[in-house]
Chain A
Amino acid sequence: MKENCPDRISQIWGQRTPYYGEWPERVDEYVTAQPDHWVQSACLLCSNGCGLDIGVKDGKIVGVRGRSTDRINHGRLGPKGLHGWMANNSADRLTTPLIRYNGKLEPATWETAMSLIVEKSRELVRKHTSGSIGFYTSGQLFLEEYYTLALIGKAGLGTIHMDGNTRLCTSTSSWALKLSFGTDGQPASYTDIDTTDALFLVGHNMAETQTVLWSRVLDRLQGTNRPRLVVVDPRVTVTALQADVHLMNKVGTNVPVLNGILNLIIRSGQIDSDYINTHTVGFAELEKIVSRWTPDLVERVSGVPAAKLTAAAEILGGSPTLVSTALQGVFQSMQATAAAVQINNLHLIRGLIGKPGCGLFQMNGQPTAQNTRECGANGDLPAFRNWHNEEHVKELAQIWNVLPSKIPHWAPPTHVMQMFRYAEQGSIKMLWISATNPAVSLPELSRIRKVLQKDDLFVVVQDAFMTETAALADVVLPTALWGEKTGCYTNADRTVHISHKAVDPPGMARSDFDIFLDYAYRMDFRDKDGQPLIKWQTPEQAFEAWKLCSKGRPCDYSGLSYEKLSRGSGIQWPCNEQYPDGCERLYSDGQFNTSYLYCESFTHDLSTGGAMEPEDYKEKDPGGKAIILAADYEPPHEQPDKKYPLWLTTGRLVYHFHTRTKTARSPQLNAAAPEVFVQISEQDASENGITEGDLVKVESRSGRVEAPARIGGIAPGLIFIPFHYGYWDGAENFRAANELTKTSWDPVSKQPHFKYAAVHIYKVEPGIAKAISDTKDEVMDVMKSAFETIKQKLKI
Chain B
Amino acid sequence: MNVAQYISLVYRSEQKLADAFERVARQHSLEPDVLQLCKKFESWCIDHVENIKKLTDRYGEEKDDEPEDIYDALFDKPRMGAMGLLRDLHGLWLLANEVKLCWTILYQAAQALRDDELEMSCLQFGEQTNRQVTWLLTKIKQSAAQVLVVAE
Write the residues of chain A forming the contact surface with B, with a CB cutoff of 8 angstroms: 128-129, 131-132, 160, 410-412, 414, 417-418, 421-422, 425-428, 605, 607-613, 634, 637, 742-745, 747
Contact = CB atoms under 8 A, between A and B. Distances in A.
B151 A425 contact: yes
Contacts of A745: 32-33
A247 B152 CA distance: 52
Contacts of B144: 411
A132 B135 contact: no
Given A160-B145, A411-B141, A425-B81, A608 B135 contact: yes
Contacts of B132: 608
A131 B145 CA distance: 9
Interface of B: 30-33, 36-37, 40, 81-82, 131-132, 134-135, 137-138, 141-142, 144-147, 149-152
Contacts of A637: 36
B17 to A, nearest CB: 15
Contact of A412 (B31, B32, B142): B142
A335 to B, nearest CB: 12
Given A427-B151, A610-B134, 19 more contacts: A410-B145, A411-B141, A412-B142, A418-B142, A422-B146, A425-B81, A425-B151, A426-B152, A427-B146, A427-B147, A605-B131, A605-B135, A607-B40, A608-B40, A608-B131, A613-B137, A744-B32, A744-B36, A745-B32
Closest 3 CB pairs of A and B: A610-B134, A610-B135, A131-B150
Given A160-B145, A411-B142, A425-B81, A129 B131 contact: no
A426 B83 CA distance: 13
Contacts of B150: 128-129, 131-132, 427-428
A610 B131 contact: yes
Contacts of B31: 421
A783 B50 CA distance: 50
Contacts of A412: 142
Nearest to B41: A608
Contacts of B146: 131, 422, 427
A421 B37 CA distance: 17
30 contacts: A128-B150, A131-B149, A131-B150, A411-B141, A411-B142, A411-B144, A412-B142, A421-B30, A421-B31, A422-B146, A425-B81, A425-B82, A426-B151, A427-B151, A605-B131, A609-B33, A609-B37, A609-B138, A610-B131, A610-B134, A610-B137, A611-B134, A611-B138, A612-B134, A613-B137, A634-B40, A742-B32, A743-B32, A744-B36, A747-B33
A457 B14 CA distance: 42
B134 A605 contact: yes
A220 B38 CA distance: 48
B101 to A, nearest CB: 18
B74 to A, nearest CB: 21
Nearest to B150: A131
The B interface, classified by DSSP as helix, strand, loop or mixed, is helix
Nearest to B31: A421
A747 B37 contact: yes
Contacts of A129: 149-150
Contacts of B152: 128, 426-427
A411 B143 CA distance: 9
A561 B141 CA distance: 40
A307 B20 CA distance: 45
Contacts of A410: 141, 145
A128 B146 CA distance: 10
A422 B144 CA distance: 12
A186 B16 CA distance: 46
Nearest to A752: B32
A611 B142 CA distance: 11
Contacts of A610: 131, 134-135, 137-138
A624 to B, nearest CB: 25
Contacts of A427: 82, 146-147, 150-152
A637 B33 CA distance: 11
A340 to B, nearest CB: 19
A421 B151 CA distance: 12
B103 to A, nearest CB: 17
Contacts of A131: 145-146, 149-150
Nearest to A743: B32
B65 to A, nearest CB: 31
Contacts of A747: 33, 36-37
Nearest to B148: A131
B94 to A, nearest CB: 17
Nearest to A124: B150
A605 B37 CA distance: 12
A171 to B, nearest CB: 14
A637 B43 CA distance: 14
Nearest to A447: B30
A107 to B, nearest CB: 34
User: Which of A411, A428, A607, A747 has the largest number of chain B CB atoms within 10 A?
Assistant: A411
Interface centre among A412, A418, A610, A611 (most CB of B within 10 A): A610
A726 B30 CA distance: 25
Given A426-B151, A743-B32, A609 B145 contact: no
A634 B40 CA distance: 10
Contacts of B145: 131, 160, 410-411
A422 B143 CA distance: 10
Nearest to B133: A610
Contacts of B82: 425, 427
Contacts of B37: 608-609, 747
A428 B135 CA distance: 24
Nearest to A605: B131
B139 to A, nearest CB: 8
A150 to B, nearest CB: 20
